[in-house]
Amino acid sequence: MAFESLAGERIYVSQSAQTFLIGDYFSVYGLEDEIPMIYEWDDIKSYSELQNGVTITVSDGTVYHIPRNAFSDNLQLIRFRAIAEGQLSSANCRLTQRILPPKYNYCSVDPPEQSFSANCRYNEKDINSGSVANMHSRTGKYIVAIGLVIFAAVFLILAYFRGKLVENWFYYLPISAFCGIAVAVAVYLISSVIARLRFADYVKHDVSALEDTVIVIAHAGFAAVEQSVYTGMELIPWSSADYFFETKTTIVITCKDKSVCWIPKRVFPKNVQNDISSFISSRVQAK
Amino acid sequence: MKPTITIESSRNILGEYLLVNVVNGKGIIGICDTTRNPGTVRRSLFVGSESLVSISSPDDETSNRQIWQNSSIDKCKNVLGTKLKHVVEDYFYEGVPLAKAVQPVLEMLTDGLYIVHEGTAYPTDGAGNFFWNAYFVRHELNGTAPSIPAIGKNKVFAPAFLVPTQGFSMYSEKNISVAAARIKKGRRIGGLAYHLTGMFSALLSGHTNACACLARGEDFPCITIEPVSDVLYLHDEITDKDRILALSAPYAKLPLEAISRSVLENFLLNRRVSVPEFYPAIRAKADKPLVLKGGVKGISSLISDNIEKLPDAEMLASAFAISELPDEHLQLLLAGETKINDQVIISANYYESIVYACNFLQYKDKRRFIEFTTTILNTPALAATYKYVAERLRFEMDAKINELFKNIKESEDPIYVPIKEIAEKYLIRYHEHMEKSVNQYIGAEPELIIEAQPEPKKGKAKANESVEALARLRDGSGAAAPAEGEKEYSSLELAKKVANAPKPKHKES
């Protein structure tokens, strides 16, 4: 569990005349309720945050919906997320794509004494670079495979239809290679465009993109948390990290649940950027 | 922002209490999470930037906790000033109403709901040891689980055992004599405590007063502040399911319908784990145990004698677990029954019922306790409980028990073999106790007074202070020692007194 010291949040939903109080418990006052329904977080069966708001299903089957516009501002939504996700596990959370890792990844640890830390606000370049690199880290081997398949297919087609393989293989080979490379490049470019377009999606739907973020890289773990909810004790342990990759502008750490943590290099002084890379590589496998 | 304190007065079967709602509290006094190792939860009571007492446990409601001292509250004078002392004096001596007297302390708490009440506290560790020097070493204590199995979650109890927050180097028999003299003059003295876990509270003020009450064999009244941090599941008749319907603290269970919405919202929006201003310092200090400065001190024999008379954690748990135990129920228990009219008397487990009954009676009704245990020890069918019962009888000085143990010692029945050693030790103790009683009767036994107490010595001599003070209490300088020419204790005198004393009666079974 993490973010246990954040003060609770009170959200009033005018459509359903319900008041939600979240803290150590999840509580709901109905319109005419004298006493609220109080649930322990263990009783929350599922929590999903989609574009239209937050939906919480409790163990007795009751479903509560908090629309996006019920939150007074972005800050309240961020705090709400931090408290709720800090109490839940990945198993009962369903979330839209985020810029920052979901809060259930975090655990409370000693305030890191020796660490690299910085404040930043993500920009398009950071996210694009990271996003493209992330996309290519996932699709790279498939692009190469597609290229090889096209190469082989073109070569076989030429050999079958044109014949005289022994005499003409010298011409068939570069033509096939060109076709394979061309298709691979085309797929690469399309995936890059898709990856870049996702930034617009993040900005549109993730309120964290509009807030200052604290980046921490410490012995016990790493963090990329909205400054408004960071208490100095939350880190994702290195054991949760899967691998990392580095681009010219960004370091991206991916977690086992597929969430990612973007670390823009620009927020750290130039003389420590290499130290950070080698520090991360000593703790998690590079890709 | 200025702290906002709202106070409501209420009452339950344990007595009157205040329900306090703190908003914008200064957060100087509270409990924070100082966990280091995964799998073990550590909480620390802090005042300012000092961690005073730490509690460690597996994350389980029914396991006993380890408690140890980290620091002394004397180091927090810069943030506390004399506020705690004034609270105690205002309430116990000046007679200021509780709500008004505790106000300055309430403002120093972290935000949340609290129960404040006054009751008798026991300056022991719940196992018969004097409280002030019992927590240097981290160890597990009986009765420290937040949910005590014997009492259950739904019953109320007063967390009466004390954990010191002041270093034992502040133990001074001179100061105890002064406090004892105040009691003798009719002044009311007491303490102020903050609930930690289970039946244990940290004494914030009144360490010397606790010792004085103990030395005089009197109850130690103490104001206890309990944070309300738990909830209680009750059966909801509308939905026919168990749901959270009350807030829970040891001293009071608060049904939700009895709490105003603003107070309840404050409870729900405040988190159990607070992060105080000096959190890193507190966390670092929680790693270190309190170091005892100077030589090891002894405690007054008046205190060590009286401490044995105080209830232990088991006794207190049984006392709160059982609401009443009429003779009819006791007879059924002795006959091997655990139910009356299909209702469980104490527990479905027979031996557990006997144990709880013994503890309950020992705390509530000594006469019936002695009768009940005597009957048990004379019933061979209950031989499995003999050792436990004999252990419970150990510190009760009574002629009937003396006679009983005499018979056990002389008995050749093999079922008494496991408790013969206890019986022999008891007979020796009883003899010593009688000697002391006779001495007191003839005026040779010391009594605490404050006259002619020399100032405590500094440095090396300080280590001997306790011994000297004890000697003063025992001989003439500070105590009601026999005046010159007055008769001292003699064995002949004792023999005469004992011979003239009424013969102890033993109930034959």
Mean pLDDT of B9-38: 91
Q: What residues are paired with A221 via a beta bridge?
A: A237
Q: Which residues of B touch A10 (CB under 8 A)?
A: 265, 269
Q: State yes or no: pLDDT of B446 exceeds 60.
A: no
Do both B95 and B129 map to the same domain? yes
Q: What CA–CA distance (Å, rounded) separates A15 from A24? A: 25
Give the domain range for residue B64. Answer: 4-306
**CB-CB under 8 Å, B283 with A110:** yes
Computed over every residue of chain B, the mean pLDDT equals: 84
Residues of A with CB under 8 A from a CB of B: 4-10, 21, 23-25, 27, 29, 34-40, 60, 108, 110-111, 231, 233
**CB-CB under 8 Å, A37 with B35:** no
**Least confident segment among A112-116, A215-219, B118-122, B325-329:** A112-116
Lookup result for tokens 């007595």: B15
- Give the percent of chain A with pLDDT over 70: 96
B488 within some domain: no
**CB-CB under 8 Å, B269 with A21:** yes
CATH of the domain spanning A9-96, picked from 1.10.3470, 3.40.50, 2.40.128, 2.30.29: 2.30.29
Do both B196 and B254 map to the same domain? yes
Do both B266 and B406 map to the same domain? no
Q: Work out how many domains chain B is built from and give that number.
A: 2
Residue of A34, A38, A240 best to disrupt the B interface, most CBs of B under 10 A:
A38
Largest CA distance in chain A: 92
Asked if B281 is an interface residue toward chain A (Cβ–Cβ < 8 A), one would say no
Write down the pLDDT at residue A69: 92
Asked if B236 is an interface residue toward chain A (Cβ–Cβ < 8 A), one would say no
In three-state secondary structure terms, A269 is: coil
Q: Which residues of A touch B264 (CB under 8 A)?
A: 35-36
**Least confident segment among A31-45, A205-219, B283-297, B476-490:** B476-490
The string of DSSP codes covering B64-104 is: PPEEEE---GGGGHHHHTTHHHHHHHHHHTS---HHHHTHH
**CB-CB under 8 Å, A21 with B268:** yes
Asked if B256 is an interface residue toward chain A (Cβ–Cβ < 8 A), one would say yes
Q: What confidence category does residue A167 fall into, taking pLDDT thresholds of 50, 70 and 90?
A: confident
Q: B317 CA to chain A: closest CA distance, Å?
A: 28
Which segments within A82-149 are labelled E, that is strand? 93-95, 107-108, 115-120
- Give the percent of chain B with pLDDT over 70: 86
Mean pLDDT of B436-453: 60
Write down the pLDDT at residue A187: 92
Largest CA distance in chain B: 81
- CA angle (B94, B163, B66) in 5-degree steps: 160
Do both B295 and B342 map to the same domain? no
Could you read off the pLDDT of B370-402 as tens digits, one per residue?
Answer: 999 999 999 888 888 899 999 889 888 899 999
Asked if B240 is an interface residue toward chain A (Cβ–Cβ < 8 A), one would say no
Write down the pLDDT at residue B288: 87
CB burial string A112-145: b at 16+ within 10 A, e below:
beebbebebebeeebbbbbbbbbbbbebeeebee
**CB-CB under 8 Å, A36 with B268:** yes
Q: B101 CA to chain A: closest CA distance, Å?
A: 29
B457 within some domain: no
Do both B353 and B291 map to the same domain? no
The residue out of B243, B274, B306 marking a domain boundary is: B306
Q: Which residues of A touch B283 (CB under 8 A)?
A: 110-111
B507 within some domain: no
CA distances from B236 to B144, B232, B375 (A): 30, 12, 44
Q: Residues B379, B336: contact at Cβ < 8 Å?
A: no
**CB-CB under 8 Å, B241 with A34:** no
Among B443, B457, B449, which Cα is nearest to B215's? B449
Residue of A9, A22, A24 best to disrupt the B interface, most CBs of B under 10 A:
A24
Asked if B35 is an interface residue toward chain A (Cβ–Cβ < 8 A), one would say yes
Q: What CA–CA distance (Å, rounded) separates B143 from B135? A: 15
Lookup result for tokens 């930034």: A199
Do both B104 and B38 map to the same domain? yes
Which segments within B274-322 are labelled E, that is strand? none
Mean pLDDT of B74-96: 93
Q: State yes or no: pLDDT of B147 exceeds 70.
A: yes
Mean pLDDT of A19-37: 90
Quick one: closest CA in B to A25, which residue? B268
Q: Residues A225, A213: contact at Cβ < 8 Å?
A: yes
The string of DSSP codes covering B18-35 is: EEEEEES---SEEEEE--
The residue out of B306, B340, B369 marking a domain boundary is: B306
Residue of A1, A3, A5 best to disrupt the B interface, most CBs of B under 10 A:
A5
Contacts by residues A94-97 (CB-CB < 8 Å, ≥ 24 positions apart): A94/A46, A94/A47, A94/A48, A94/A49, A94/A50, A95/A48, A95/A49, A96/A49, A96/A50, A96/A51, A96/A205, A96/A206, A97/A198, A97/A201, A97/A202, A97/A205, A97/A206
Do both B260 and B368 map to the same domain? no
If 0-12 CB within 10 Å is exposed, 13-18 middle and 19+ buried, where does residue B211 land?
buried
Do both B99 and B124 map to the same domain? yes
Asked if B463 is an interface residue toward chain A (Cβ–Cβ < 8 A), one would say no
- Provide the whole-model pTM: 0.80
Write down the pLDDT at residue B444: 54
Quick one: closest CA in A to B259, which residue? A35
Asked if B503 is an interface residue toward chain A (Cβ–Cβ < 8 A), one would say no
Q: Which residues of B touch A233 (CB under 8 A)?
A: 275
Q: Are strands A44-50 and A93-95 parallel, antiparallel or unpaired?
A: parallel
B139 within some domain: yes
Q: Are strands B220-227 and B191-197 parallel, antiparallel or unpaired?
A: parallel
B414 within some domain: yes
Q: Are strands A53-58 and A44-50 parallel, antiparallel or unpaired?
A: antiparallel
Write down the pLDDT at residue B405: 93
Asked if B36 is an interface residue toward chain A (Cβ–Cβ < 8 A), one would say yes
| Encoded tokens for B432 | 């010593």
CATH of domain A115-121+211-281: 2.30.29.30
Which uninterrupted H or E stretch holds A227?
A: none
Asked if B37 is an interface residue toward chain A (Cβ–Cβ < 8 A), one would say no
Q: What CA–CA distance (Å, rounded) separates B31 from B57? A: 15
Q: Residues A103, A49: contact at Cβ < 8 Å?
A: no
Do both B50 and B170 map to the same domain? yes
Q: B260 CA to chain A: closest CA distance, Å?
A: 9
B459 within some domain: no
Write down the pLDDT at residue B372: 93
Computed over every residue of chain A, the mean pLDDT equals: 87
Supply φ then ψ for residue A220, to 5 degrees.
-80, -20
The residue out of B407, B423, B440 marking a domain boundary is: B440
Q: What confidence category does residue B497 fall into, taking pLDDT thresholds of 50, 70 and 90?
A: very low
CA distances from B343 to A130, B324, B339, B348 (A): 69, 14, 5, 9
If 0-12 CB within 10 Å is exposed, 13-18 middle and 19+ buried, where does residue B234 land?
middle
Q: What confidence category does residue A200 fall into, taking pLDDT thresholds of 50, 70 and 90?
A: low
Q: What is the DSSP letter of B273?
A: S
B461 within some domain: no
Q: What CA–CA distance (Å, rounded) separates B304 from B211? A: 10
| Encoded tokens for A69 | 């516009």
Do both B237 and B369 map to the same domain? no
Q: What CA–CA distance (Å, rounded) separates B351 from B382? A: 9
Q: Are strands A9-13 and A18-22 parallel, antiparallel or unpaired?
A: antiparallel
Q: Which residues of A touch B256 (CB under 8 A)?
A: 35-36, 38
Do both B15 and B75 map to the same domain? yes
Do both B272 and B326 map to the same domain? no
Asked if B264 is an interface residue toward chain A (Cβ–Cβ < 8 A), one would say yes
